[in-house]
Amino acid sequence: MKNAPSRSLLAARGFTLLELLVVVAIIGLLAAYVGPKYFGQLGKSEQAVAKSQIEAFSRALGAYRIDVGNYPSTEEGLNALVNRPADSARAAKWNGPYLEKAAPPDPWGKPYLYTSPGSKGDFDLLSYGKDGQPGGTGDAADVSNH
Could you give the dihedral angle defined by the CA atoms of residues 60, 62, 67 and 69, in that order, rounded to the nearest 10 degrees? 140
User: What is the rounded radius of gyration, in angstroms, for the C-alpha atoms of the chain?
Assistant: 28
Q: Does the structure show a pLDDT above 90 at 114?
A: yes
Question: What's the chain's average pLDDT?
Answer: 82
- Per-residue pLDDT tens over the stretch 15-48: 788 888 888 888 888 888 777 766 655 556 788 8
Q: Which residues of 2-37 are buried (b: 16+ CB within 10 A; e: fewer)?
A: eeeeeeeeeeeeeeeeeeeeeeeeeeeeeeeeeeee
